[in-house]
Amino acid sequence: MIFVNGIRYVLGESRPISSVPELGGDEAAIKFLADRGFKNYRHSTVEAWELGVEAARQAMQAAEVNVADIDQVIYASVSSRSPAHGDLSIGLFAHRMEMLTTPITGVCFGECTNAMLGIEHAAMLLETGRARTVLLVSTDVACSKEQRVTTGQTICSDGAAACVITREPRGSAVPSFELLGFAKAFHHLSRAGMSNPAKSFRDICGAAMKCKKTVLSKIDKPLAKWIPNTANSEVAGALASVLGIPASMFYLDNLPEYAHVFSTDQLINLVDWATRSKAPSGSVVAGLATGTSGSSVAAWRVV
Amino acid sequence: MIFVNGIRYVLGESRPISSVPELGGDEAAIKFLADRGFKNYRHSTVEAWELGVEAARQAMQAAEVNVADIDQVIYASVSSRSPAHGDLSIGLFAHRMEMLTTPITGVCFGECTNAMLGIEHAAMLLETGRARTVLLVSTDVACSKEQRVTTGQTICSDGAAACVITREPRGSAVPSFELLGFAKAFHHLSRAGMSNPAKSFRDICGAAMKCKKTVLSKIDKPLAKWIPNTANSEVAGALASVLGIPASMFYLDNLPEYAHVFSTDQLINLVDWATRSKAPSGSVVAGLATGTSGSSVAAWRVV
């Protein structure tokens, strides 16, 4: 059994979407996004690794673990500027965390599914006995216009979430979640730059549907909620419709205030849903992450 | 049991190190490197993913598997320019390979240990039943002066290697290798930009020693050879000395012609050693990869 414990997150400063520098005051674009649920977004004045440090410290406290307990860190991020020759930000993170010799695996090629792919990697480390206590840090800060305003349909926010992944539940400050099932599916044409918006949407839906089927076949209890990445309400509605999920089952409560926090959304929305809804122990919920090149679904049981 | 099969590689064009553009004809630097074993290096006129496609095709042929057999690809590379928003090169690789829906995991934060970290990821996929046949592609093309002439001590070459990782040996065109043991150890100060050459070398040695001890404790047969990444003969000699390994046990035969092919070295040198030495079945050899932020050791048995 795999448990995610002590999910904590930190976000950049709250600012109105009309102030997104990359929108350049384009009234039509701002209205388009406001009509689809965006109101404020989060803008970090510090680097992704610094947000990651803060989230990691809070998560370790919530899960009641120390630096010495952590066998392995998984650092999921879209914000690397230089993976090529020793990623600086992971080094700075390790230094500030006093984890200079702790193994750190980077996950950076899954776009908005990075955190989910990190969970799969953590599960494998635990299942094979390579680690007992894994710290997952998901931290994302937009590094370009393309990242801040994805395809014109989404405003992306800066934030980090962290959690501690173990084989037993840990801590009582926030709910723990048991991983009941996981699936991933890919569609590489978009990231090859060879697709178009309609084809990309179909590919995302196809991959998400495949994951949904795989994971739901292992679950014998009705889902309390679907936890997607926070998205444009129109796009989220279309995705829910294609997947045969009532729109009311999608947790989009963070859309007006947080916008879309890349792959970090998954952890933020999961813990917010459980905390705000006071989800009873035993509730089952499914996370659904969709990225440029693939989708992932995880089924979670509230401990 | 985990087996690496059908290792094949392709390299860029052979050119004398005096023509490395990043050295700018600096006679003293060229002599310094020539005195430490460098003669020619490999310069690719195509992108890393294209080298990866060629190596992958050859490896799949050698291991006698088809595209439909591959459950998962691991793409290890230092050469990504844009991990941030859907890595283009992985998309182009997938398209050319006709693997548009095959899961692809990227490994890009381990510098010259990327291929080794890819092997560990593959082992976990196989051990947990998540995959039966994994294609590992390690492809590295210098994208900057910093990558081509690392710290002034090494000339880096462009090349790709691929192999098929399974639970049973496959193919007969090239030797298969059974993974007998694996260890990794980290030292993040260098990639935080907070170290110096002497401290970095000590950290690399410390991590390598830790890995060596862990892996050798599981091996009851004398090693036929150590397979390091190809490096400056002086640095390699110093590393061997600190580790208590006779310099003659280090396989550095590819140094004058190939120079250092980043993490791809591990697969190149392993198969070259076995093929050229006609290593008998049952021989045990240890791979030793050292990078900016960590080291890995793998023990291999020739099938």
Q: pLDDT tens string for chain A (303 positions)? A: 999 999 999 999 999 999 998 898 899 999 999 999 999 999 999 999 999 999 999 999 999 999 999 999 999 998 876 655 568 899 999 999 999 999 999 998 899 999 999 999 999 999 999 999 999 999 999 888 878 887 788 999 999 999 999 999 999 999 999 999 999 999 999 999 999 999 999 999 999 999 999 999 999 999 999 999 999 999 999 999 999 999 999 999 999 999 999 999 999 999 999 999 999 999 999 999 999 899 999 999 999
Residues in chain B, how many? 303
Cα separation values, A251 from A63, A240, A277, Å:
25, 11, 11
B223 CB-contact burial (10 Å; exposed 0-12 / middle 13-18 / buried 19+)? middle
- Cβ of B90 within 8 Å of Cβ of A191? The answer is yes
Chain B residues close to A106, C-beta within 8 Å: 108-110
* Helices and strands of chain A, counted as H and E runs: 9, 13
Alpha carbon distances (Å) from B150 to B144, B155, B238: 10, 7, 17
pLDDT in tens, B167-187: 999 999 999 999 999 999 999
Residue B287 tokens read as 């791979």
pLDDT at B164 over 60: yes
With a cut of 80, say whether residue B126 has pLDDT above it.
yes
At B87, is the pLDDT very low, low, confident or very high (cuts 50, 70, 90)?
Answer: confident
Chain A, chain B: beta-carbon pairs less than 8 Å apart: 179
Tell me the torsion sign for CA atoms B230, B232, B233, B239.
negative
Confidence band, pLDDT 50/70/90 cuts, at residue B283: very high
Are the beta carbons of A95 and B189 separated by less than 8 Å?
Answer: yes
Phi, psi for residue A263 in degrees, rounded to 5: -80, -15
pLDDT for A1? 95
CA distance A262 to chain B (A): 10
Q: Do B85 and A110 touch (CB under 8 A)?
A: no
| Cβ contact B86–A190 (<8 Å) | yes
Higher pLDDT, B118 or A108: B118
3-state secondary structure A188-202: CCCCCCCCCHHHHHH
In order of A91, A142, A236, the CA distances from A38 in angstroms are: 34, 17, 13
Q: Report the pLDDT value the prediction gives residue A80, as an integer from 0 to 100.
A: 72
> In chain B, which residue's Cα lies nearest the Cα of A141?
B84
pLDDT of residue A276: 97
**Chain A: closest CA distance from residue B87 (Å):** 6
Residues of A in contact with B80 (CB under 8 A): 83-84, 109
Q: What confidence score (pLDDT) does residue B84 get?
A: 54
Say if the Cβ atoms of B190 and A88 lie within 8 Å: no
Choose which CATH entry (1.10.10.10, 3.40.47.10, 3.10.20.30, 3.40.50.450) describes domain B3-166.
Answer: 3.40.47.10
- Per CATH, A3-166 and A177-302 having the same topology is answered yes
Cβ-Cβ contacts under 8 Å, B84 against chain A: 78-80, 108, 143-144, 146-147
Hey, where are the domains in chain A? 3-166, 177-302
Superfamily of domain B177-302: Thiolase/Chalcone synthase (3.40.47.10)
Put simply, the answer to whether A108 touches B103 (Cβ < 8 Å) is: no
Query: How far is CA B166 from each of CA A301, B3, B127, B181, B227, rounded to the nearest angstrom?
Result: 33, 5, 10, 15, 22
Q: Residue B86: pLDDT above 70?
A: no
Contact call for residues B176 and B170 (beta carbons, < 8 A): yes
Nearest chain B residue to A140, by CA = B84
Instruction: Give dist(CA A132, CA A3) in Å, integer.
Output: 11
Could B109 and A94 be called an inter-chain contact, meaning their C-beta atoms sit closer than 8 Å? no
Mean pLDDT over each residue of chain B, to the nearest integer: 95
Q: What angle do CA B135, A86, A123 make, to 5 degrees?
A: 50
- pLDDT above 70 as % of chain B: 98
β-bridge partners, A162: A8, A137
pLDDT at B146: 79
- Smallest Cα–Cα separation from A110: which of B19, B277, B167, B86? B86
What is the nearest CA distance from B167 to chain A, expressed in angstroms? Answer: 15
Q: Which of B102, B103, B109 sits opposite A106 (nearest CB)?
A: B109
- How far off is chain A from B145, nearest CA to CA, in Å? 11
Name residues whose C-beta falls within 8 Å of residue B162's C-beta, 6 or more positions apart in sequence: B6, B7, B8, B9, B52, B55, B56, B58, B59, B60, B135, B136, B137, B138, B267
Regarding beta strands B3-11 and B159-166, do their DSSP bridges make them parallel or antiparallel, or are they unpaired? antiparallel
Closest CA to B291 of A94, A85, A76: A85
Structural element, H or E, at residue A75: strand A72-76
Looking at the complex, report in whole angstroms how far the Cα of residue B71 sits from the nearest Cα belonging to chain A: 11
User: Tokens representing B96?
Assistant: 């050319």
Please tell me whether residue A165 adopts helix, strand or coil conformation.
Answer: strand
Using alpha carbons, select from A143, A140, A147 the residue that is nearest to residue A161: A140
Question: Residue A79: what pLDDT?
Answer: 83
Distance from CA of B95 to the nearest CA of A (A): 7
**For residues B190 and B203, is the Cβ–Cβ distance under 8 A?**
yes
CB atoms within 10 A of CB A222: 7
* Shortest CA distance from B104: residue in chain A: A186
Chain A residues inside the 8 Å CB shell of B103: 184-186, 294
B99 chain-A contacts, CB cut-off 8 A: 188
Q: Which is more confidently placed, B150 or B271? A: B271
Contact B62, B171 (CB under 8 A): yes
Output the pLDDT for position B72: 98
